[in-house]
A and B are shown apart, each in its own frame.
Chain A
Amino acid sequence: MAIGRRAAFAAIRPLITPEGVDLRIRLADAGTRASAFLLDIVFIAVAAIVITIVALFGAGGLGSEGFQPLFVVWIILIFFLRNAYFIVFEAGRRAATPGKRIVGIRVASRSGDGLSIDQVIARNLMREIEVFLPLSIIVGRSGTDLADTLTTVFGLVWTLLFALFPLFNRDRMRIGDLLAGTWVVEAPKRALLEDLSARQDAGTGAFRFSHAQLDAYGIAELHKLEEVLRRDDYFALRTVAETIGRKIGAAPQAHDARAFLTAYYGELRAHLERKLLLGNRRADKHQR
């Protein structure tokens, strides 16, 4: 738990707006970014295949005199797909490629200013040594001599150092990010969820708790309880209700678990929020 929290905390960076509010941006982790990149690769590949098929059909239909302009269009389109796809999307309003949008991340300037086009270009040109160089070494491997194998392995290790660069620094920056002064942050679209303490289930009103019972837990436990209630899994609710019941000396019926927890959540939150207003933030149950 402690380790998990520290790991989550390490990815949060301050971003103070000119209004003086810290927005605490969360850096995207390596897995999310890898999946966004793979999605983009799939999109690019699909687009390239579609363009090629259309071009082939066009060539078949137009005959030999229409072939050349078609070839020019094809080669330029493929070129743009490889080099401009990332730049155009990241220079757009949402600063994210379709793949990044799907997983809910975007590019941002490390300084907190607006992202400028030269930053986007710088970070994407470096993809050449991060992605295409290792790929071309793998693909271009032709000989099977020992020396050839050795140079291939050496080249691969060298280029993988570039590709795996984000794993070796605290801010999860690619080489491109480093050179452009950018990083990739989480920018999810969240819906406003219902207020659990306003929930009125049947039977919620039947539970009342004493001061001592509400003092059993702190904010960390309250947030865990919120998570459990939002997930709304029958067995989890029952287990949690039993644990809490044991701790505070109440014994809710099994079928009442949800109502009991909702009631306890509401009162516990009100209790802790009241303390908060009085300047006493009780982080967890161990804090007196």
Chain B
Amino acid sequence: MTAPVPGSAVRGDAVRQSLASFRREREADWKAFEALLARVEKRAPRTLSEEELLSLPLLYRSALSSLSVARATSLDNALVAYLEALSLRGYFYLYGARRGLRQRLADFFLHDWPEAIRDLWRETLVSVALMVIGIGAGAWLVASDKSWFDAIIPSSLAGGRGPDASAELLRSMLYDGDNGFLSGFAAYLFTHNVQVAILAFALGFAFAVPTVLLMLFNGCMIGALFQVYWSKGLGMELGGWLAIHGTTELFAIALAGAAGMRIGTSIAFPGELTRMAAAARAGRIAANAMVGVSVMLLFAGLLEGIGRQTITSDVTRYAIGGGMLALWIGYFYLFRMMRHGDR
């Protein structure tokens, strides 16, 4: 042990004293902030008194200033780490401004959803066109060679329908409602369709190629089915059977495909933005559209599972299908004009 050097120790002690008193004086504030944060993170801010609510930003700023002081003067790693974690929590809470649930829902249905769909109009047209091409191709293929039907529509889905089935069998499939299991069927259809729509959307990431294929193939299946019924003189009847829910469902699937295409194309061709920014922008529009798509598919599932089984008149089926389509188009594309007209 060497001889003590009083001068150095005394000067060191003075620094130690002042830093210790910094911590002593500020510590109560930090603890209070931590306790408040723990409370507001668990429960709604409503549970705080007005005084506590007002003190929250003050305590946050005090923690931030303590962090700056500690970083500049203190070499206590644990203290700096604690203040960093505390400030970050406070930052996320205070600047993560959130709207109430009711406000958020209203915004979604009044602005975000129709705006997202309107923004996707070009992709929607492409996606509808792809489906129409698919329908044409499917019908043409089956008309030229019956065996294409089995290749396009898996036998589990066809359920006995096919080019060789009799007209009576085909007709009975359109009008037989087996009423035992309607709402269960509707729920199943809804979840299944949403899963397919999400897949069509997510696959858009691969530069939209799988989404395009999916849209074409979807069209092909409808086309093949149509050809079979048309050749038996049941085209109109099948149209009604499809239209009652199909206008909503196919529109929703086309929109999901459009959302996927938007993502794929904006990653491939970001334009003036950076690729990252373009992807993030497309992702947010597409996400809004996708929530809307699942709402539409919920309607489609109800119409298909319940409406189609109980309503067997062709005219009513066409009327409901057409009405739904008009409703969606009006809501997405015309609604805004009306509101602007009012102003």
| Contacts from A to B (Cβ < 8 Å) | 15, 17-19, 21, 23-25, 68-69, 71-72, 75-76, 78-79, 83, 93-95, 106, 108, 110, 112-119, 121-123, 125-126, 128-129, 133, 162, 175, 178-181, 187-193, 195-198, 207-211, 213-214, 219, 222-223, 226-227, 230, 249-251, 266-267, 269-274, 276-277
Beta-carbon contact of A223 and B282 below 8 Å: no
Beta-carbon contact of A79 and B2 below 8 Å: no
Interface of A is mostly: helix
The one of B9, B74, B187 in contact with A75, judged by C-beta atoms closer than 8 angstroms, is B187
**Complex CA distance for A74 and B203, rounded to whole angstroms:** 28
How near does chain A come to B33, taking the closest CB pair, in angstroms?
11
Beta-carbon contact of A195 and B2 below 8 Å: no
Q: Name which residue of chain B comes closest to A127, CB basis.
A: B202
Known contacts A23-B88, A181-B284; decide if A129 and B202 are in contact (CB<8 Å): yes
The one of B81, B88, B284 in contact with A119, judged by C-beta atoms closer than 8 angstroms, is B284
Known contacts A180-B287, A273-B75; decide if A249 and B2 are in contact (CB<8 Å): yes
Known contacts A196-B76, A211-B8, A214-B8; decide if A125 and B2 are in contact (CB<8 Å): no
Q: Name which residue of chain B comes closest to A178, CB basis.
A: B279
**Complex CA distance for A222 and B2, rounded to whole angstroms:** 21
Known contacts A75-B188, A271-B12; decide if A133 and B280 are in contact (CB<8 Å): no
**Complex CA distance for A78 and B191, rounded to whole angstroms:** 9
The one of A15, A23, A125, A270 in contact with B12, judged by C-beta atoms closer than 8 angstroms, is A270
What residues of chain B lie closer than 8 Å to A188, measured between beta carbons? Answer: 85
What residues of chain A lie closer than 8 Å to B11, measured between beta carbons? Answer: 274
Beta-carbon contact of A106 and B92 below 8 Å: yes
Known contacts A117-B104, A208-B5, A211-B8; decide if A180 and B88 are in contact (CB<8 Å): no
Beta-carbon contact of B81 and A79 below 8 Å: no
Please tell me which stretch of B14-22, B119-127, B230-238 contacts chain A, meaning at least 4 of its Cβ atoms lie within 8 angstroms of it.
B14-22
In the complex, B49 has a CB within 8 A of chain A = no
What residues of chain A lie closer than 8 Å to B91, measured between beta carbons? Answer: 15, 17, 23
Beta-carbon contact of B205 and A129 below 8 Å: yes
Known contacts A114-B97, A126-B202; decide if A197 and B194 are in contact (CB<8 Å): no
**Complex CA distance for A113 and B41, rounded to whole angstroms:** 18
Give 1 or 0 for each of B292-310: 1 = CB within 8 Å of chain A CB. Answer: 0000000000000000000
The 6 closest A-B pairs by CB, nearest first: A179-B283, A181-B280, A270-B12, A208-B4, A122-B287, A114-B96
In the complex, B254 has a CB within 8 A of chain A = no
